[in-house]
Amino acid sequence: MADRREKRVLPRGIARRAALEAREPADLCKVLAATPKAKAQWGDLTPLARRDFVSWIESAKQPETRTRRVRSIPSRLASGKRRPCCYAVVPMSLYTALAALPKAKEQWSSLSPDERRNFADWVTAGKDSATRAARVEKSCIALLKGKRRP
């Protein structure tokens, strides 16, 4: 029976790592490939820290901002940064909505960091402000119902 567990755990871990790595944008992969030290430091980051960097890169509205952020990754890693500076993981609109709904905020507090990021990423993935506002409302409703993901 122990053999079965080992076989199940290994593929799931590999699959999860592959899914996280597959999410890395091509422009980031090029920058990391060009600087081996940064690539090694990137590999030392936790999956959540890498996810925060990727979300920070993808949240740029202007192509120039995105390019600047991608190019800054090696120097940030070299200076010891393990997260993007001043990057709000929770959108302010979601944070404000949760503050107005104590039961939703209580459920939010019980979520794991992964679950919180799933909500935040889903909200910020909306292409326009109306979509994001609707997703904030749906997130609050889901939390009020005790759901742990959007």
The mean per-residue pLDDT over the stretch 31-47 comes to 91
The answer to whether 31 touches 72, Cβ cutoff 8 Å, is: no
0.85 exceeded by pTM? no
State how far the Cα of 101 lies from the Cα of 36, in Å rounded to an integer: 47
Output the pLDDT for position 13.
Answer: 52
Please report the pLDDT score of residue 16 as a whole number: 52
Section 74-82 average pLDDT: 89
- Please, what is the Cα angle at 55 between 17 and 101, to 5 degrees? 110
| pLDDT reading at 3 higher than 70 | no
For 133-140, what is the mean pLDDT? 95
How far apart are the C-alpha atoms of 38 and 43, rounded to whole Å? 9
pLDDT at 10 over 70: no
- Tell me the one-letter amino acid at 43: G
Residue 139 pLDDT grade (very low, low, confident, very high; cuts 50, 70, 90): very high
pLDDT band at 127 (very low <50, low <70, confident <90, very high): confident
- The predicted pLDDT at position 97 comes to 92
The residue extents of the domains of the chain are 24-86, 92-144
Instruction: Give the whole-angstrom CA distance, residue 100 versus residue 90.
Output: 15
How far apart (Å, rounded) are the C-alpha atoms in residues 128 and 146?
Answer: 27
Distance, in Å, from the CA atom of 72 to the CA atom of 57, rounded to the nearest integer, reads 10
Residues 6+ apart with CB under 8 A from 40: none
